[in-house]
């Protein structure tokens, strides 16, 4: 029974039906023993109530329990984006990609952000003319 409730809440959260998912999760606090559900609950909390601090801490607790789960890092990154913390969100997404480098939803989020590649010459700043020229050339080749 509890697993079915958790799955239903996760399904609503994945579909973007955050208010409904929040109601399901709040019914019997079923998400507390399920790290993935906890991270989805956190995203719902951030979207519906704007409680970013609590959402971030819940997601970090979930990541401690299942550090290898890329979906938790996806949700953590989404919360950071909602809170206007793009650079931290990118780090969360990258950490998720370390555990599954083909995770479709993380790759989709990264593509939406238009994440830059590292500078060609690492010891020079991104704005250096050498990096800019080599970057343009590499972009034309790729």
pLDDT tens-digit map of 117-138: 789 999 999 999 999 999 889 8
Dist CA 72 CA 49 (whole Å):
19
pLDDT at residue number 85:
95
Mean pLDDT, rounded, of the chain: 92
CA nearest to 26, candidates 5, 3, 47, 54: 5
Task: Please check whether residue 130 lies inside any domain of the structure.
Answer: no
* pLDDT exceeds cutoff 70 at 115: no
CATH number at residue 100: 1.25.40.10
pTM of the model: 0.81
Task: Please check whether residue 142 lies inside any domain of the structure.
Answer: no
Task: Please check whether residue 132 lies inside any domain of the structure.
Answer: no
| Count: domains in the chain | 1
Task: Please check whether residue 133 lies inside any domain of the structure.
Answer: no
* pLDDT exceeds cutoff 70 at 142: no
Task: Please check whether residue 110 lies inside any domain of the structure.
Answer: yes
* pLDDT exceeds cutoff 70 at 22: yes
Q: What domain range is 18 assigned to? A: 2-117
> Distances from the Cα of 108 to the Cαs of 60, 77, 81, 85, 112, in angstroms?
22, 12, 14, 18, 6
Dist CA 86 CA 94 (whole Å):
12
Q: 88 with 57: CB under 8 angstroms?
A: no
Which residue has better confidence, 39 or 116? 39
């Amino acid at each position: 029974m509890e697993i079915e409730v958790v799955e239903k809440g996760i399904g609503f959260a994945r579909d973007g039906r955050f208010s409904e998912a929040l109601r399901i999760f709040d019914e019997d606090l079923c998400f507390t023993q399920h790290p993935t559900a906890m991270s989805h609950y956190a995203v719902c909390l951030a979207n519906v109530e704007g409680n970013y601090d609590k959402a971030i801490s819940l997601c970090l607790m979930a990541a401690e329990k299942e550090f290898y789960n890329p979906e938790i890092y996806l949700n953590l990154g989404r919360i950071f984006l909602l809170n206007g913390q793009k650079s931290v969100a990118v780090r969360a997404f990258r950490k998720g990609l370390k555990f599954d480098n083909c995770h479709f939803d993380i790759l989709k989020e990264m593509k939406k952000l238009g994440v830059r590649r590292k500078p060609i010459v690492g010891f020079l700043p991104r704005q250096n003319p050498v990096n800019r020229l080599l970057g343009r050339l590499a972009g034309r080749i790729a």
